[in-house]
Structure 1
Amino acid sequence: MMQRHATLQRKTPLRAKKPMAHTGRRKHKVAGHHDRKLLDACRGQDCYLKVPGICPHIPNDPTVVDCHGNWADTGKGMGIKAADRFSVPGCAPCHYWLDFGTTATRAEKRTVFFDALARWEEVRDAHVISIEAA
């Protein structure tokens, strides 16, 4: 016959000495990583990753978002997204391939990403300057 154990009971109740302070809006973990203008420049753009065999090449694709690099030299770390200056517009299939795709090596992904970044930087910088001038 199995014996039933009594449920464990705490002798003293859990009580905080003081309520937790509300810190307001959460800050980015690394100063200088976040730049809203660089992310906003990706809106309405075509996919720059253009992964062969993956990208559907849809004009005005609504799935295009900013895709960040996944390497330490782009500022990526454990629990930290890469710096916003290392982001390019990419459609959903290309973004998935970059982050999770198993059909390519890290070196191939890196080559595609940095080629796209080189093409995007000229367009992005001109776009950011035109927004600031307005």
Structure 2
Amino acid sequence: MGHGRASARPLRADARRHRDRVLQIAQEALAGDGLSLSFEEIARRAGCGVGTVYRHFPSEAALVEAVLLGWVERFVADARALATAEDAGRAFHGWFTQVVEQAAVHQGLCDLLADQGGEPGRGGSR
């Protein structure tokens, strides 16, 4: 079961900022050597309390899932923006190149998913 935002009520502006900052830090960690940061360290770098991190992401799997969803949402938004490009072949090539480059950057995410037994939120609980 996912930890999507669709059923949740909208976040206050400060809560949204904290959530976005936590996601940014987690993305940076995953792009490096995997999510090697503790929730305490993520909270410190985000400038919030560890309870705030756990409130938004009750587990490492929930945090990884949110990072992965953000990544996919950006690729989808970019693809939609290119759908009306004059040169569809060039637009697709540029988009696909970006996907491949980002996949290489997110090797840590791929490794973490493999360690958790597949998809976040489906099996593999840690």
TM-score when normalising by structure 2: 0.28
Q: Which has the higher helix share?
A: 2
Q: Which has the higher strand share?
A: 1
TM-score when normalising by structure 1: 0.27
Which gives a bigger RCO, structure 1 or 2 (Cα 8 Å, sep 6+)? Answer: 2
